[in-house]
Amino acid sequence: MPIRDGGLGVRRVSSLALSAFVASALSILSLQETILSECQCQQDEFLTTYQSEWTASFGVEPVGALSHRQSAWDKPGIAVVKPQLESGLVDACQKATFLAAIAPHTGDWLSVFIIAACGLRLDDEAVRVAVALHLGLKVCVPHSCHCGQDVDAWGLHAFVCKHAPGRIQ
């Protein structure tokens, strides 16, 4: 899913390709017709097929200036995927992670410019942990903390423990 919708900005190629192709083809259609006005050309079969496929899946097509924007073609697909993802969540932890991921500004860190000279850079381990927490994945192997508490695979104990490795005392 897109970052603004709670994802990591990684998308299925099939859904991305359909909306990108249709928006791109429609945005140049008038230019194409102007250039080829002297020719007897057939209508683009691919565009017609993909528009029909999109309409069958999502309903009414974007019109006017919106028909040239990929985001306008993406929104209905995202609106279908979100409830599907949410309905597949089985426990409270998964639901909480999903709700946190779709909250406003949750993914803003993914859009920040990396400027190492200013300290705006995460090392590989920080990115691994951040992505795992964002997706509700396991972060570590269950173990005992220095304080004696058990740490589960999600590693959430580290957020509250004063003895957790990496904590500044």
pTM for the whole structure: 0.60
pLDDT tens for 38-89 read 777 777 788 888 888 888 888 778 877 787 787 888 888 888 888 888 888 8
In a domain, 109, yes or no: no
Domain extent at residue 10: 3-89
In a domain, 22, yes or no: yes
CB within 8 Å of 121: residues ≥ 6 apart: 114, 115
Tell me the pLDDT tens digit for each residue of 8-17: 777 777 777 7
Q: What angle separates helix 70-87 from helix 13-27, to the nearest 10 degrees?
A: 160
Count of domains for the chain: 1
